[in-house]
Structure 1
Amino acid sequence: MQVVDSHIHLWDLKTHRYPWLENPGVSFVGDARDLKHDYLLDDLLGEAGDIDVKKLVHVEANHDPADPVEETRWVQSVSDRHESRGMPNAIVAAVDLSAANAPGLLEAHASFANTRGVRQILNVHDNKLFDYVGRHYMREPQWRENFALLRRYGMSFDLQLYPSQMEEAAVLARAHADTLFAVNHAGMFVDRDSVAGYRAWREGMRMLADCGNVCVKISGLAMFDHQWTVESLRPYVLETIDTFGVERTMFASNFPVDRLFGSYADLWHAYASIVDGASVAEKEALFCGNAERFYRI
């Protein structure tokens, strides 16, 4: 089967610094100690098995925050090598939009041919186990002011957050209707032990889907389901597609993070099994076309 993988990470620990991999630990997403090794393009393609990887979108991998542009420079250099076949075909770069130097960083990222957008992780949670950043960036005036600059460079925004933040994100999306948003990891439904948690995810996703400039990636589900099966993934996949529609949903692997809990081929075949009843055109959109259109690749 052929795929456009809209969410992968690469890193070279020999030449670049990734603070989270310097002294990795165990968290709800798994044991990061098992990720403390180089993960390069050949590594991903080498374990693809019978999956025909047509194109790739590289999403920032928490590179050294002191020099996020260096990650973009490196990923572009990987793409520019003849043997890489142009992969990664798109780059989602890192920038702290609350920082004074954000405008300069956006300009620098935009100078690379494959840059299509940026991501800044926004996840905040009352439970410290799940809290990523400890502050509500979307509420900060400087962050919102710099966010408006994405339009200048034609950049999209990869939206990684929790359901409790989706109402605020929908307000942001409506305020920037000319900026495209991609919800990461199917909205990161973390509070799975309560009816209220499910409702927060379902209603939050519907609020975001009501914004025509927002799409979603079905990825990262294994971070919350370490023993996943086709049947355990099925309700989240189908609910997400039902909410956003086939035309605004794309599958992705989140490799190598989700590699902790299964193989590349097994994950893609699980997705394929879940949507087996879809039409040929719908499958093409979910597995290839939507990602190509969103990231202009």
Structure 2
Amino acid sequence: MQVVDSHIHLWDLKTHRYPWLENPGVSFVGDARELKHDYLLDDLLREAGEIEVLKLVHVEANHDPADPVEETRWLQSIAERDESRGMPNAIVAAVDLSAPNAPALLEAHASFANTRGIRQILNVHDNKLYDYVGRHFMREPQWREHFALLRRYDLSFDLQLYPSQMEEAAALARAHGETLFIVNHAGMFVDRSSVAGYRTWREGMRTLAGCRNVAVKISGLAMFDHHWTVESLRPYVLETIDTFGVERAMFASNFPVDRLFGSYTDLWRAYASIVDGASDAEKDALFRRNAERCYRI
């Protein structure tokens, strides 16, 4: 089975600083204490086993916010040492677009050959258990001013948010029609205990899908389903594909975070089982081609 994994994280705790791994705890996404160890390219490829990983997209791993460019520099050096494969083939870097130095950081990230996009986590939730950032960045004038600079550097934006923020994000996508938005983790359907929560996710995803410059990664489902099975993942996978269409959806592992709840091979086999009835062309799009196109690799 061949895949292009469009969402992975690497970290080297010996040489780099990741504040969230200095004193990790337990949250809704699992026990981060089990992640407090180096996770390098060879570790991921070894875990892949029978899954043939053709290309990788690295998404910023909450590296030291004082020097986010160092993470990109390190990842680029790994890609250049990996001469035959060039992994990670694409880098989605970190920038706080609300910060005064955001323009300089965007320029610095863009100077590296494998940089393709930016991610700034936007998740805000009334429940502190789920709240990541505690502020609505998309409403801040300086953040929006700096966001507009992504087009100058031909950078995409990895959009990590909750369903309650999707309408606002769709307005942002419509205002920046030449910037590609890639929704992380199938929209992070967090409020699963109510019919209203499901509707908010479903309608929010449909609103985002109405913007032709928005694609989606089917990933991170285990963060909300720690005892997942093929059948428990199936409705979210199929609803996401149906909403965005086969041409704008892609599978990804979110490793090593989702490693807390299953193996790499089991996850990819689950995806394959869910879309077993799809055509070869549709499978090629979901597992490989869409990620290559979106991240230009």
Provide the rounded CA distance (Å) in 1 between the counterparts of 2:74 and 2:82: 15
SS of the equivalent of 1:211 reads coil
Q: 1:274 — aligned with what? A: 274
**Does 1:239 find its partner at 2:239?**
yes
Give the TM-score normalised by structure 2: 1.00
Q: 1:6 — aligned with what? A: 6
After TM superposition, list the pairs within 5 Å mapping 1:149-164 onto structure 2.
149-164=149-164
Q: 1:66 — aligned with what? A: 66
Q: 2:41 — aligned with what? A: 41
Q: 1:288 — aligned with what? A: 288
Runs of 4 or more consecutive aligned structure 1 residues displaced over 6 Å after TM superposition: none
Preserved CA contact (<8 Å) 1:24 1:33? yes
Structure 1 residue 83: deviation in Å? 5.3
Provide the rounded CA distance (Å) in 1 between the counterparts of 2:91 and 2:247: 22
Provide the rounded CA distance (Å) in 1 between the counterparts of 2:47 and 2:165: 35
After TM superposition, list the pairs within 5 Å mapping 1:137-216 onto structure 2.
137-216=137-216
Preserved CA contact (<8 Å) 1:185 1:220? yes
Structure 1 residue 82: deviation in Å? 3.6
In percent, how many aligned pairs have the same letter? 88
Give the TM-score normalised by structure 1: 1.00
Q: 2:123 — aligned with what? A: 123
- CA deviations over 1:75-126 (Å, ceiling 9, x no partner): 0000000456200000000000000000000000000000000000000000
Preserved CA contact (<8 Å) 1:68 1:93? yes
Structure 1 residue 47: deviation in Å? 0.6
Provide the rounded CA distance (Å) in 2 between the counterparts of 1:286 and 1:131: 30
What is the letter of the counterpart of residue 190 of structure 1?
V
Provide the rounded CA distance (Å) in 2 between the counterparts of 1:100 and 1:143: 9
What is the letter of the counterpart of residue 67 of structure 1?
D
Provide the rounded CA distance (Å) in 1 between the counterparts of 2:164 and 2:122: 11
Gaps of 5+ in 2: none
What is the letter of the counterpart of residue 85 of structure 1?
R
**Does 1:264 find its partner at 2:261?**
no
SS of the equivalent of 1:149 reads helix
Gaps of 5+ in 1: none
SS of the equivalent of 2:247 reads helix
Q: 1:218 — aligned with what? A: 218
What is the letter of the counterpart of residue 11 of structure 2?
W
Provide the rounded CA distance (Å) in 2 between the counterparts of 1:14 and 1:85: 25
What is the letter of the counterpart of residue 81 of structure 1?
R
Aligned residues: 297
Provide the rounded CA distance (Å) in 1 between the counterparts of 2:205 and 2:92: 22
SS of the equivalent of 1:290 reads helix
What is the letter of the counterpart of residue 89 of structure 1?
N
SS of the equivalent of 2:143 reads helix
Provide the rounded CA distance (Å) in 2 between the counterparts of 1:81 and 1:201: 41
